[in-house]
Amino acid sequence: MKGLKRYMYVAVVMLFAAAFCMGCGAEPQKQVRIISYVSTETHSNGGTTSDVVKMVAESVVEIRTESVTTQWGMKYVVSGAGSGVIVAHDESYGTYYIITNNHVIDGARQIKVSLRTCGDEYTATLVATDVAGDIAVLAIKETCALNVAVWGVSESLLIGEDVIAIGNPLGSLGGTVTKGIISATERSIPVGNYTMTLLQTDTAINPGNSGGGLFNMRGELVGIVNAKTSDESVEGICFAIPADTARNIFDDLIINGVVGGRVSLGISVGVYDTNTVYVTSADNGDFKQYDRIAKINDMNITSLLSYHDALAALKPNDKVKITLYRYVKSVQGFFGAVTPVFDSTPTEITVTAKQLKKGESA
């Protein structure tokens, strides 16, 4: 599980010992022609909670993943669980498209989807992901007629408005329905290594609900559940990606495989300690491996969160001033601890931000 600072993603992860490793997922889909349903004024007004559940429950699916990790020379199968929502249908290819959270399927070598309508488990193909937006798109082949959710307009949500969450809490209670209200509509909070603007709700959310749907009382999909508070003393503070945001990301991923406007500096980065962000690899010749990044424009870089916040403020083709310290050497101390040593004089370079490419990480 990727729990982070005050807020955490809500996925279920289990670990099993294994002595093997298998390959990764299938290639993304090519160009598609999809039918995605958007709310209109003639859409049903819903009714009671049970009426709404009957309308939308079959559009929510259960997701099970498997990935392989190595610890102490042993390979382990990591099994995870989450939720997803069917949001589009491509009749020409006989394919349904499911939106979920990136953190639900991150690193998975196999993704299985259970459909409440057909009652079986199907292998899903990973179409594309957006790490910054915590959105992933999956595809499954058509086996029977499935219920496609109707996109609502999250911008029109009112504080205090009733909402319903449907998902797969604990990875074993698929189809669970909880109800609450919209507590706030634009909470800007750090979730993992990214700052996200989310809907806040007091609807009960548990591990396994990640990627599930948040619906209004008209049966419209208004949010994709993704986070809650990690403090055990706090209750009823949960979050969802607004439908307007999720739908825009979904459309970009389906059409281009990447979200427009996301930028890359041509490097990969990591953290040495709590306040050192350094270059792990570079396709951009202006950088060198192990450079410590101190500033991007005028923003101090002290964590992956601040690094991604700085990138989020950029647009493709922006000229970006980078202040960094060149790596000099590593010093090994007691008990094998290694401390990097950087040049005491900062180096300033100017680079051009590029549109993030399909499959590339910022």
Residue 103 annotated in active site = yes
SS3 content of the chain, % helix, strand, coil (to 5): 15, 45, 40
Residue 134 annotated in active site = yes
Task: Choose the catalytic residue: 103, 130, 183, 264.
Answer: 103
What DSSP element (H or E) covers 311? helix 304-312
Which amino acid is it at 136? Answer: A
Neighbours of 313 (CB within 10 A): 13
Q: Compute φ and ψ for 82, nearest 5 degrees.
A: -165, -160
Task: Choose the catalytic residue: 90, 134, 252, 291.
Answer: 134
Of the candidates 12, 11, 13, 15, the one whose C-alpha atom is nearest the C-alpha of residue 77 is 15
Q: What is the DSSP letter of 283?
A: S
β partners of residue 81: 12, 64
HSE at residue 158, side-chain half, CA atoms within 13 A, is: 4
Report d(CA 228, CA 234) in Å as an integer: 10
Task: Choose the catalytic residue: 83, 210, 264, 306.
Answer: 210
Report d(CA 13, CA 278) in Å as an integer: 29
Task: Give residue for tokens 């609807």.
Answer: 203
Residue 43 annotated in active site = no
Which residues carry out catalysis?
103, 134, 210
